[in-house]
């Protein structure tokens, strides 16, 4: 019998596991960190909000997580108007898989961590506790817990199992890796309203060039390929794809799309809908929501925990909800054109 069972060990799950003190905790994560194993498709840029969250934990990022090059500006392209602007940004270019692995190394030895564990079934028992079934190394295993925490991302099994009616606006993120052949590495943000009402990105990373985007689920791969063809005409160099990745990504469109959980089930990070609707940045919210939940979980389950978690995450939800008001200036073509034409906050590139 575990006090808390955490499904998923991304930034949210690993942080919660690190901060829970005095409780018996089991963590199940499908990643193995082996070659060819599951890795979350991610551009691997640590935004200032996430850097601030790490700083508040007094954590320093190890050199092994960083990659080449470190970029200081984003090249923003609007394919509908042909406008291009450069904006200064303070992202840290990192290896996302190594970042997740580093966060796992911070989990105390007393916490039971099971990697390569694919959860297959979750059920609430009559006594209010939970039975969990998972597969690991070809074997089926079970565990029982007083509480379940879903830290399993956009396609959260925990959310789908216990809150099946709760819907959050979502997209399919498609990303490919190529050998870097550009003369000068760069980071870009691409708007292409013909293919998506969200955005696409590219980043240079340790000799590779990564291109990806968030697309409506319908014909997402075709949209991705058409966009590559357009960008090739703009000087992007792709070549043969070395790796293709895809996953679901959430983009909440309103207050009611946040899902905190109830009756012994808690959701943190992207599983709760805690991700920026303007930039799709979610690491900072994952770290913050995990810390808030760790502060309210008591040794014995209580309805107070859910009320306290709701109060503790109010500021985070308000911040993410407020970003919806930023979206029209990024994603409404006419307003975006005005902003880019004005040159506001952009920088000039000296060639």
**Residuewise pLDDT in 10s, the chain (351 residues):** 999 999 999 999 999 999 998 899 999 999 987 766 666 778 899 999 999 999 999 999 999 999 999 999 999 999 999 999 999 999 999 999 999 999 999 999 999 999 999 999 999 999 999 999 999 999 999 999 999 999 999 999 999 999 999 999 999 999 999 999 999 999 999 999 999 999 999 999 999 999 999 999 999 999 999 999 999 999 999 999 999 999 999 999 999 999 999 999 999 999 999 999 999 999 999 999 999 999 999 888 888 999 999 999 999 999 999 999 999 999 999 999 999 999 999 999 987
Would you call 26 exposed, middle or buried from its count of C-beta atoms within 10 A (0-12, 13-18, 19+)? Answer: buried
Q: Which pLDDT score is estimated for 28?
A: 98
Range of the domain at 116: 2-334
- With respect to residue 98, please indicate whether it lies within any of the assigned structural domains: yes
37 found inside a domain: yes
Q: What is the pLDDT of residue 37?
A: 63
Predicted pLDDT of residue 299: 84
Helices (H), 29-151: 48-56, 96-105
Task: Choose among 198, 175, 201: nearest CA to 189.
Answer: 201
346 Rama sector, left if φ>0, alpha if ψ -120 to 50, beta otherwise: beta
Q: What is the predicted pLDDT for the residue at 240? A: 97
The CATH number of residue 224's host domain is: 3.50.50.60
pLDDT value at residue 301? 86
Total domains in the chain come to 1
Burial classification of residue 90, based on how many CB atoms lie within 10 Å of its CB (0-12 exposed, 13-18 middle, 19 or more buried): exposed
Nearest Cα residue to 91 out of 76, 64, 69: 69
**How high is the pLDDT of residue 36?**
63
Residue 220 lies in a domain: yes
**Residue with tokens 């073509």, as numbered in its chain:** 333
Supply 289's token pair: 């929501």
From CA 29, how far away is CA 200, in angstroms rounded? Answer: 28
pTM of the model: 0.96
Say if 347 falls within a structural domain: no
In a domain, 167, yes or no: yes
CA distance 72 to 69: 10
In a domain, 340, yes or no: no
Confidence at residue 267, expressed as pLDDT on a 0 to 100 scale:
98
Residue at 342 is within a domain? no
Distance in angstroms (rounded) separating the CA atoms of residues 111 and 131: 19
Beta bridge partners of 46: 92
> What φ, ψ does residue 28 adopt, rounded to 5°?
-115, 125
Look at residue 42 in the predicted model and tell me its pLDDT.
Answer: 82
Residue 88 in domain: yes
């Amino acid at each position: 019998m575990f006090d808390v069972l955490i499904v998923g060990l991304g930034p949210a799950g690993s942080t919660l596991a690190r901060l829970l003190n005095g409780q018996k905790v089991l963590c199940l994560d499908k990643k193995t960190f082996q070659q060819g194993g599951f890795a979350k498709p991610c551009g691997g840029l640590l935004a200032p909000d996430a850097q601030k969250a790490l700083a508040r934990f007094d954590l320093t990022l190890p050199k092994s997580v960083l990659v080449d090059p470190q970029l200081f500006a984003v090249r923003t392209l609007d394919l509908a108007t042909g406008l291009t602007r450069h904006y200064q940004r303070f992202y840290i270019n990192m290896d996302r898989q190594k970042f997740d692995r580093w966060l796992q190394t911070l989990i105390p030895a007393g916490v039971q961590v099971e990697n390569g564990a694919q959860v297959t079934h979750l059920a609430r028992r009559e006594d209010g506790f939970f039975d969990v079934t998972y597969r690991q190394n070809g074997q089926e295993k079970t565990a029982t817990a007083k509480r379940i925490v879903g830290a399993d991302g956009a396609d959260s099994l925990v959310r789908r199992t216990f809150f099946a009616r709760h819907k959050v606006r979502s997209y399919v993120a498609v990303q490919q890796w190529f050998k870097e052949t550009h003369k000068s590495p760069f980071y870009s943000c691409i708007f292409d309203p013909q293919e998506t009402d969200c955005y696409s990105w590219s980043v240079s990373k340790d000799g590779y060039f990564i291109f990806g985007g968030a697309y409506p689920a319908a014909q997402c791969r075709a949209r991705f390929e058409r966009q590559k063809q357009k960008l090739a005409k703009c000087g992007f160099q792709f070549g043969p794809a070395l790796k293709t990745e895809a996953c679901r990504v959430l983009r909440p469109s309103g207050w009611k799309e946040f899902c905190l959980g109830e009756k012994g089930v808690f959701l943190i990070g992207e599983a709760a809908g805690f991700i920026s609707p303007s930039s799709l940045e979610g690491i900072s919210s994952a770290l913050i929501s995990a810390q808030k939940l760790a502060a309210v979980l008591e040794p014995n389950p209580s309805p107070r925990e859910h009320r306290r978690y709701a109060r503790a995450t109010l500021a985070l939800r308000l911040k993410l909800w407020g970003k919806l008001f930023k979206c029209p200036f990024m994603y409404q073509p006419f307003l975006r054109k005005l902003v880019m034409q004005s040159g506001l906050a952009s920088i000039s590139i000296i060639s």
